[in-house]
Amino acid sequence: MAPARLIHREPLPFARSPRSTLGVEWELQLVDRDSLDLRQCAAEILREVGPDENIHGEMMLNTVELVSGARRTVAECVEDIAHAYDRLLPVTQPLRVELASAGTHPFADPLVQKVTDSERYERLVDRTRLWGHQMLIFGTHVHVGIEDRDKALPILKALLTRTAHLQCLSASSPFWAGEDTGYADNRAMMFQQLPTAGAPHQLGTWEELEAYAGDMIHTGVIEDFTEVRWDVRPSPRLGTVEVRACDAATNLTELAGIAALTQCMVEDFSRRLDRGEELDSMPDWYVDENKWRSARYGMGAILITDSAGNEELVTDTVRRMLTELEPVAADLGCEAELAGVAATLDAGASYQRQLAAVGAAGGAHEAAVRLLLAEVRAGRPLTPSEVLSLGA
């Protein structure tokens, strides 16, 4: 008889994917030009756009998702997304709808948002009730190709030693329904309320992953593996590891920076495996603590960096990572995009810029929305002086 944990094993064939190729997904908010609130018109926009491999619907009708193709460089991914953005404008502008993004909208009411007419999403909301209705969140997802299935889980676990650093850099959700939450990344706190969301189980073998998937399907928790919404997960269908922990970037410079840093880390871990090295991993309780610290404190977080429990200010770790990964970035052709991470270190993360804009505007959360609109148009994070000027 098979061991109990393998009884319901679900085969998960891992697709062949060229090493360190990548794909980027960016969720955008549909913002009313006059009220600066969200508009629930995704169905109308997508119908007008027509079939487009780079423009997709999402769970909420206030959201569209821009998706790159599977590319070799970050620049190619960003080009795909920029062109898709441009294709949306002739449709959204006559509707007086603007495109912006961040992990949450600064003041929209989560309980009045409508869900896309899809059996998949309706089933999720029916099961999760109030929490499902409150998924007014927006993210950035980065897929990186893994050429050998046996590398997928070790790389996933190694990424969990740095996922919180990505979360800090991308943190753009300090507000919830018009309230200052005191968190840099409130999106992370909201999303983990869903079943199968949050930090992943750190499994030792692919067979254990298949057993997990089989158990979840057998007990009706999921219908297929794509409904596992971990912060970092393998994507067997695509042959990638997917990092899903990041808030939606507010501009293309920071989107490219997150993508480049993720691609470089995966390639660096892959090279270490090729040399026969064992990748470091942290116990689940360290991973969970880092996730909370990054959500709460953002760029001021002191994070656990390794299995030994050493700790360091996130910005110090990131600056060192940028230096250490320079040779990898040169090989991957993403040196300029990786250097863009320094723009976040210099200007502060989005949550800091939003808080500054609202403070300069005397507490008016509309100032944060105006900031998001300005940054997506500029394609970069605004400087502190520009943020204060905008808020005033």
Question: pLDDT per residue over 246-300, tens digit each?
Answer: 999 999 999 999 999 999 999 999 999 999 999 999 999 999 999 999 999 999 9
Give the single-character DSSP code of 227.
Answer: G
Q: In the beta sheet, which residues pair with residue 30? A: 99
Q: Whole-angstrom Cα distance, residue 301 to residue 47?
A: 43
The pLDDT of residue 193 is 85
Which percentage of the chain shows pLDDT scores above 90? 87
Tokens 């206030």 belong to residue: 62
What the block records as the tokens of 225 is: 């593996």
The pLDDT of residue 1 is 42
The pLDDT of residue 320 is 98
The pLDDT of residue 133 is 64
Find the mean pLDDT for residues 230-251.
98
Q: Whole-angstrom Cα distance, residue 8 to residue 1?
A: 12
Q: What is the pLDDT of residues 367-381, one digit of tens each?
A: 999 999 999 999 999
Q: Judging by beta carbons within 10 Å of its beta carbon (0-12, 13-18, 19+), is residue 252 exposed, middle or buried?
A: buried
Which residue pairs, CB below 8 angstroms and at least 24 apart, start in 334-339?
334/73, 334/74, 334/75, 334/256, 334/259, 334/260, 334/263, 334/264, 336/75, 337/74, 337/75, 337/78, 337/256, 337/257, 337/259, 337/260, 338/257, 338/260, 338/261, 338/264
Measuring CA to CA, which residue among 251, 233, 269 is closest to residue 143? 233
pLDDT for residue 130 is more than 80: no
What is the residue-wise DSSP string for 298-353?
GGG-EEE-STT--EEEHHHHHHHHHHHTHHHHHHHT-HHHHHTHHHHHHH--HHHH
Q: What is the pLDDT of residues 60-80, one digit of tens each?
A: 899 999 999 999 999 999 999
In this structure, the strands spanning 197-198 and 229-230 are parallel
Q: Higher-confidence residue: 118 or 302?
A: 302
Cβ contact 30:97 at 8 Å:
yes
Model confidence pTM above 0.85: yes
Q: What is the pLDDT of residues 315-341, one digit of tens each?
A: 999 999 999 999 999 999 999 999 999
Q: Whole-angstrom Cα distance, residue 332 to residue 361?
A: 42
- Which of 16-30, 122-136, 143-157, 325-339 bottoms out in mean pLDDT, i.e. has the lowest? 122-136
Q: Whole-angstrom Cα distance, residue 83 to residue 81?
A: 5
How far, in whole angstroms, is CA 307 from its chain's centroid?
24
Cβ contact 211:299 at 8 Å:
no
Measuring CA to CA, which residue among 114, 124, 82 is closest to residue 253? 82
Q: Higher-confidence residue: 340 or 119?
A: 340
Q: Whole-angstrom Cα distance, residue 181 to residue 187?
A: 11
Find the distance separating the first CA and the last CA of the chain, reported in whole Å: 70
Q: What is the pLDDT of residues 21-35, one digit of tens each?
A: 999 999 999 999 999
Q: What is the pLDDT of residues 180-207, one digit of tens each?
A: 999 999 999 999 988 899 999 999 999 9
- Which of 13-27, 90-104, 111-125, 299-313 bottoms out in mean pLDDT, i.e. has the lowest? 111-125
Q: Higher-confidence residue: 384 or 99?
A: 99
Indicate the pLDDT class of residue 384, thresholds 50, 70 and 90.
Answer: confident
Question: 21-335 — its CATH code?
Answer: 3.30.590.20
